[in-house]
Amino acid sequence: MVANQSSLTALVTGATGFVGSHLISRLVSIGWQVHIIIRPNSKLQLLESVRDRITIHTHDGTTEDLFRIMESAKPTVVFHLASIFLAQHTPEDIAPMLQSNITFATQLVEAMVAQKIYYLINTGTSWQHYENKEYSPVCLYAATKQAFEAIIQFYIETTPLQVITLKLFDTYGQNDPRQKLFALLEKTANQKELLAMSPGEQLIELVYIDDVIDAYILALERLLSGKVQGHEKYQVSTGSPIKLKEIVEVYEQETGTNLPIQWGGRPYRPREVMVPWNQGKLLPGWKTKISIREGIRKVKGSVKPAS
Ligand SMILES: NC(=O)c1ccc[n+]([C@@H]2O[C@H](COP(=O)([O-])OP(=O)(O)OC[C@H]3O[C@@H](n4cnc5c(N)ncnc54)[C@H](OP(=O)(O)O)[C@@H]3O)[C@@H](O)[C@H]2O)c1
């Protein structure tokens, strides 16, 4: 592990989100100087415990402002996690999603290379690989992730930029504000109202947040060691996907509940991922440490029930 590298600086986007806030805590704990880029309306609740130990830059949306931020932070490495995630979009979502997932991301890399900053850790999604294909986006969000990878290729070919893209699957853990599976189950347990779910036969890759953050730190070490040539891409997965129904069973066992779930009470989503992508490579030296049962033990009672 990288220990106490206090002269090294990381610049992080998406820091106010679930994964980003956990990454910031880890980077601060191992002695990195951390700068983050936020939007004027970003909420900082998830960063409360580290707020006085990080430098916050508010981006006005322009390329020039990102140049200013990059020049001021002068990071050793940039972690890019900012994104708008939407499983399904409406026409109104297109402009903000492309702004966040493509324009902002490209401005970021342009500003990096202008300042001769050549280490980037980018974040992709397993949803770029529907039905295990080399490229098949589950939804428009996944297509924007792929589009940014295509843009990175330009910078790889024209500058010394070195990139690792970590492709995430489902993540879970403490301090998760997102209204995801465990928040929904917690609410169902509290309110004892019938919960209509899909038939539940889809296999899911759920990776505990500490394991996900280990992957970012290992990617950082790999970049710093000079082993990366061009653009390396890795999947951050357990390798042992579990059916949704079975995850709920483990949750019930660990919380001593019997949830009123109506399996099949709602249809699968369009392009539901029934079998997660498994054709990618794992980051050398990384594997998950926390089983789903251990992870549920850690999160139970700590997630905010879905509203
Ligand atoms: N968590 C998962 O299960 C999962 C799975 C696959 C891939 N991923 C990827 O992993 C990354 C982190 O996911 P997450 O779940 O932590 O996301 P999240 O909780 O939804 O947070 C998204 C972050 O992106 C920031 N952001 C969005 N648009 C921005 C913009 N234009 N400028 C600056 N910041 C912007 C948000 O800032 P505000 O505070 O201003 O909203 C927030 O900090 C994302 O790239 C996501 O696509 C996550």
Helix (H) or strand (E) holding 121: strand 119-125
Distance 57 CA to ligand 1 centre (A): 17
Q: Which amino acid is at 92?
A: E
pLDDT score at 7: 73
**Burial level of 307, CB count in 10 A (0-12/13-18/19+)?**
exposed
Give pLDDT < 50 ranges for the chain. Answer: 1, 3-4
pLDDT digits (tens, 9 = 90+) for 13-61: 999 999 999 999 999 999 999 999 999 999 999 999 999 999 999 999 9
* Pocket flag, ligand 1, residue 238 (CB < 6 Å): no
pLDDT digits (tens, 9 = 90+) for 191-218: 989 999 999 999 999 999 999 999 999 9
* Pocket flag, ligand 1, residue 5 (CB < 6 Å): no
CATH architecture type of domain 9-171+207-236: 3-Layer(aba) Sandwich (3.40)
What tokens appear for 185 in the block?
């189950």
DSSP string, 146-181: HHHHHHHHHHHHHS--EEEEEEE-EEE-SS--S--H
Distance 19 CA to ligand 1 centre (A): 8
Q: Which mutation among 54, 85, 233 tests ligand 1's pocket best, with the greatest number of atoms within 8 A of CB? A: 85
What tokens appear for 289 in the block?
């440490």
* Pocket flag, ligand 1, residue 78 (CB < 6 Å): no
* Pocket flag, ligand 1, residue 198 (CB < 6 Å): no
* Pocket flag, ligand 1, residue 16 (CB < 6 Å): yes
pLDDT score at 3: 45
Which amino acid residue places its CA nearest to atom 30 of ligand 1?
100
* Pocket flag, ligand 1, residue 295 (CB < 6 Å): no
Which DSSP letter does residue 129 get?
A: B
Q: Which residues contact 83 (CB under 8 A, 6 or more apart)?
A: 14, 100, 101, 123, 141, 144, 145
Phi-psi region of 254 (alpha: psi -120 to 50; beta: other; left: phi over 0): alpha
Distance 186 CA to ligand 1 centre (A): 23
Which amino acid residue places its CA nearest to atom 20 of ligand 1?
17
* Pocket flag, ligand 1, residue 148 (CB < 6 Å): no
Q: Which mutation among 54, 58, 152, 168 tests ligand 1's pocket best, with the greatest number of atoms within 8 A of CB? A: 168
CATH architecture type of domain 178-205+240-277+289-299: Alpha-Beta Complex (3.90)
Domain positions in the chain: 9-171+207-236, 178-205+240-277+289-299
Distance 257 CA to ligand 1 centre (A): 32
pLDDT score at 176: 92
Cβ neighbours around 241 below 10 Å, total? 21
